[in-house]
Amino acid sequence: MMKSIDQLIIALLLVSFTAGCVKEDHFGFSDGADILSLELSNQNGTPFIDRQNDSLYVEVANGTDLSQLVVKSLELSPFAKATIAVGDTLDFSESSELRVGVTAESGAVSSWSFNVFELGSQPQISNSDFNTWHNRGTYLDLGVDDESSAWGTSNPGAVFGGITPNVQQLEMTTGDYAVKLTTRFTWVGSLVGKPIASGSVFTGDFQEGNISFDNPQAAVKFGIPFTATPASFSVDYQYTPGEKNMDASQNALPYADTGDMYILLERREEEQVKRVATAWFRIEEGTSSMKNITVNFTYGQLPAGSPEYMLPGEGETYAAEGEVPTHIVAVFSSSANGNDYEGAENSVLIIDNLVLNY
């Protein structure tokens, strides 16, 4: 019996690996000439990519030198090449639009329109009212599409684990939506000591090609480009902890489940991550209805005695005074210790109307 279970897990992993690695059918030369992702210096959020019209729209911080926008990352269709590369400097000082050529493996050429706009001094995270969703076939996910969305969710991992998507659209009033996050028990995950799948939404991307039972967190890429310095964030929320909180070994815990809502401002230089500011609220009490909360940012080092979970992670440091952020990490989770596969089945966190206050 144990051998057959092991074979089932291996089969699931092989299916996931195959689905994640094969990005398109490759019979002969590929005609793909798309831009899949882009990051420029001083960029805010994720670009909107219009593949039908070969257009890309990037927002940058207010006051940015538009003649010195450096290409920090660029992802193209498999086997394609572009007239720009990582490290190149783009000049938008004379025009808000540049043309970039992308050549497919087959030799087909697409002319892409790059458009840059300044955000203003008080930018928000795109779709932070959570009203825009797109259909991924078997479930809805946040954003116009997966590539342009500022938000990643735990849904791909939940589906991989054989359970119902645990991030869902919730209609509050006609045409106005919130996000419902639910912690679920996963039978397949329980076989490898990972029985709990916390519902989570975060700025960044869930990279389905990297998902595995051995290291599910490797599929999560936290953070999007961001350069502003808000004073606090506000959000509407409602939290209901599940009845039985348990650890990764499915032992009952003597305390109730908790939810998490936090935003970190980071400065990323090469491989170094520096914490610029921290705003963290751990939800330790359930609520019977939606309530609004404002959480202040602490810039620089956190005060002595701050909970360990709020401190910078291994290999990270605090930014020096005056250093500005390059990225924002916003995370909402129905089980705060979900990374350790601890939580209560059916813990529910509902969030809506996230606002950065300046």
Q: Express each pLDDT in 277-288 by its tens digit.
A: 999 999 999 999
**pLDDT band per the 50, 70, 90 thresholds, residue 188:** confident
Distance (Å) of CA 117 to CA 92, 97, 121, 230:
10, 9, 13, 20
The rounded percent of the chain whose pLDDT value lies above 70 is: 89
**pLDDT band per the 50, 70, 90 thresholds, residue 272:** very high
Question: Is the model's pLDDT at 25 over the cut of 70?
Answer: no
Question: Is the model's pLDDT at 308 over the cut of 90?
Answer: yes
Give mean pLDDT, residues 297-311. 97
Give mean pLDDT, residues 221-232. 94
pLDDT at 212: 59
Alpha-carbon distance of 61 to 44, in angstroms, equals 6
pLDDT at 8: 33
197-219 tens-digit pLDDT: 999 999 999 876 666 556 656 67
pLDDT at 36: 93
pLDDT at 13: 37
> What structural domains and CATH numbers belong to the chain?
1-121 (2.60.40.2340), 133-357 (2.60.120.890)
Question: Is the model's pLDDT at 56 over the cut of 50?
Answer: yes
Q: In what order do the strands lie in the sheet with 348-357?
A: 167-173, 176-182, 348-357, 232-240, 291-296
Alpha-carbon distance of 162 to 155, in angstroms, equals 11
pLDDT at 208: 64
Helix, strand or coil, per DSSP, at residue 271: coil
Pairing of β 348-357 and β 176-182: antiparallel
Cα-trace Rg, the chain: 21
Alpha-carbon distance of 66 to 89, in angstroms, equals 10
Lowest mean pLDDT among 81-85, 215-219, 296-300: 215-219
Alpha-carbon distance of 86 to 199, in angstroms, equals 35
Give mean pLDDT, residues 18-30. 53
Question: Is the model's pLDDT at 47 over the cut of 80?
Answer: yes
